[in-house]
Amino acid sequence: MGMTDGWRLEPGGQIRGTLTLPGDKSISHRALLIAALAEGSSRLDGVLDSEDCRATARALAQLGAEIRETSPGNWLVEGRGLDGLQAPGAPLDLGNSGTAMRLLCGLLAARPFPTTLTGDASLSQRPMERVASPLREMGARIKTDSGRPPIRIDGGPLQGIAYDEPIASAQVKSALLLAGLQARGRTCLTEAVPSRDHTERMLPLFGADCEVDGARICIEGGQALHGADVTVPRDLSAAAFFIVGTLIAPDSELKLPSVGVNPRRDGVLQVLRQMGAGVDIDAVDPVGREPVADITVRSSALTGTDIGPDLIANAIDEFPVLCIAAACARGTTTLAGVGELRIKESDRVAAMAEGLSTLGVPVEVGDDSVRITGRPMGGGTIRSHRDHRIAMAFAVAALAASEPIVVEGVRWVATSFPGFSGLARQAGMRLHDA
């Protein structure tokens, strides 16, 4: 973690140039995990170097996988197959990473040894029954602490099930697929709302069939995984901060090459276009099975819009920065279906409402929705609530603010995007350590 824990952003600035973004966080976790389960070697290229992904890699190494970074972003994983994993000597500490913890639950539920999974203060508050409960239906012995971490898993044989997912969660879906791969028989799940499908796209690269039929996904147990080479596309969730920054800054234009634009992830682009954003998305060759595009974005006058639950599900991690776009738009924006955002790395609804009201933009918070009416933004001191995306969203807000913004608690940015402040300065943001 860095020396300072705050940023000071001078108001205004222009965004120009071309930015090379880091690898996709969701896909990086999956590549590391699946490669560690496979037999033989896998080369992973473009893996995100962040605390969350390092937590996954560290946990896999504790489980006995041979896993090392050969050069920045390139990892070599020597898998010995599922049966090659061993009981770790100590609890697996997943830091801030919900993805690491939930996916590992699915992976470990069927391994014949006990494991304990722990996390930091934020992760220790997050709900884990959503993954523990369907795994128990498969026969897993798994205990949470009143629904939260630490999690104790006494791994053993699992039986395939048919499961209707009550909530949209790619993490739960992926955990069940990793468990299903090791279960007797077939595991099928039906999604409430379609969530990101990186796991379903990646498993076949390693030789495991995954049948997708609309909202229903099935996997046959007992399939062997073989090492594969994976290139990780650049992260659209990281791009979103700079896309909104460019839209709200004057006379700005930015190019973002080779960004992943999986249709289950691109809600942010749809919403911004609906708001009048000038964004060009030029499809380039897919990377593995993931669609990729060069994105060009220009300063644009934004207008308020209505965003429903289905679209929010495809822009779930972009909610903080979409709130900043809404604050800079003419008229009112309503974002509906925001319940899940209250249980992310922070309560993102409350954190955005607090920060925006500090800047002079009131947010009406309803039961499952928020309403934001665009207003000129002032400045002030913003708390990140130990949440990387809250910190980055308010840094971007300074581009359209009239006074300086101080963001407190920025060390959490290292969980997903350690290079953010450097790229922000390179692009033209007036960001200083404070």
**Residue 410 in tokens:** 């920025």
56 near ligand S3P, rule: CB under 6 A: no
Rounded alpha-carbon distances, angstroms, from residue 429 to 11, 394, 413, 422: 9, 12, 16, 10
Residue nearest to ligand S3P (CB): 26
Q: Which of 50, 122, 169, 314 binds ligand S3P (CB under 6 A)?
A: 169
* Long-range CB contacts (within 8 A, 24+) of 212-215: 215/190, 215/191
Asked if residue 219 lies in contact with residue 208, where contact means CB atoms within 8 angstroms, the answer is: yes
* Least separation in angstroms between CB 87 and ligand S3P: 26
Query: How many Cβ atoms are within 10 Å of 423's Cβ, its own excluded?
Result: 19
Q: Which is nearer to ligand S3P, 39 or 290 (CB)?
A: 290
Q: Which of 122, 144, 171, 333 binds ligand S3P (CB under 6 A)?
A: 171
* Least separation in angstroms between CB 301 and ligand S3P: 30
Tokens 């359209």 correspond to 400
* Least separation in angstroms between CB 343 and ligand S3P: 8
Q: Which is nearer to ligand S3P, 195 or 305 (CB)?
A: 195
Q: Which is nearer to ligand S3P, 99 or 182 (CB)?
A: 99
**Residue 208 in tokens:** 């495991």
Rounded alpha-carbon distances, angstroms, from residue 100 to 24, 300, 375: 14, 37, 38
In angstroms, rounded to a whole number, what is the distance separating the alpha carbons of residues 117 and 59?
9
Of 77, 87, 106, 101, which is closest to residue 182 (Cα–Cα)?
A: 106
Q: Which of 105, 117, 151, 170 binds ligand S3P (CB under 6 A)?
A: 170
**Residue 120 in tokens:** 């930091």
In angstroms, rounded to a whole number, what is the distance separating the alpha carbons of residues 420 and 97?
18
In angstroms, rounded to a whole number, what is the distance separating the alpha carbons of residues 282 and 92?
41
* Least separation in angstroms between CB 325 and ligand S3P: 19
Q: Which residues have a catalytic role annotated?
A: 317
In angstroms, rounded to a whole number, what is the distance separating the alpha carbons of residues 246 and 13?
10
Site for ligand S3P in 335-374 (CB under 6 A): 340
Query: Which of these segments, 14-22, 108-116, 165-173, 246-254, binds ligand S3P (CB under 6 A)?
Result: 165-173
Of 127, 118, 182, which is closest to residue 150 (Cα–Cα)?
A: 118
Site for ligand S3P in 192-221 (CB under 6 A): 195-196
* Least separation in angstroms between CB 26 and ligand S3P: 3
Per-residue contact string for residues 23-52; x = within reach of ligand S3P by CB under 6 A: ---x--------------------------
Q: Which is nearer to ligand S3P, 254 or 322 (CB)?
A: 322
Tokens 């990793």 correspond to 178
Query: Which of these segments, 63-71, 164-172, 244-252, 373-381, binds ligand S3P (CB under 6 A)?
Result: 164-172
187 near ligand S3P, rule: CB under 6 A: no
Query: Which of these segments, 68-76, 169-177, 267-275, 351-359, binds ligand S3P (CB under 6 A)?
Result: 169-177
- Give the single-character DSSP code of 126: S
In angstroms, rounded to a whole number, what is the distance separating the alpha carbons of residues 86 and 61?
10
* Least separation in angstroms between CB 324 and ligand S3P: 18
Q: Which is nearer to ligand S3P, 62 or 171 (CB)?
A: 171
What end-to-end distance do the CA atoms of the chain give, in Å? 15
Q: Which is nearer to ligand S3P, 37 or 170 (CB)?
A: 170
Q: Which is nearer to ligand S3P, 217 or 359 (CB)?
A: 217
Number of residues that bind ligand S3P (CB under 6 A): 11
* Least separation in angstroms between CB 359 and ligand S3P: 25
Query: Which of these segments, 168-176, 219-227, 281-289, 359-367, binds ligand S3P (CB under 6 A)?
Result: 168-176
316 near ligand S3P, rule: CB under 6 A: yes
Residue 140, C-beta contacts closer than 8 angstroms, at least 6 positions apart: 109, 110, 132, 153, 155, 156, 158, 179
290 near ligand S3P, rule: CB under 6 A: no
Residue 231, C-beta contacts closer than 8 angstroms, at least 6 positions apart: 45, 46, 287, 288
Of 71, 56, 66, which is closest to residue 107 (Cα–Cα)?
A: 56
Q: Which of 317, 387, 417, 421 binds ligand S3P (CB under 6 A)?
A: 317
Tokens 């009143």 correspond to 146
99 near ligand S3P, rule: CB under 6 A: yes
Residue 366, C-beta contacts closer than 8 angstroms, at least 6 positions apart: none
Contacts with ligand S3P by CB under 6 A lie at 26, 99, 169-171, 174, 195-196, 316-317, 340
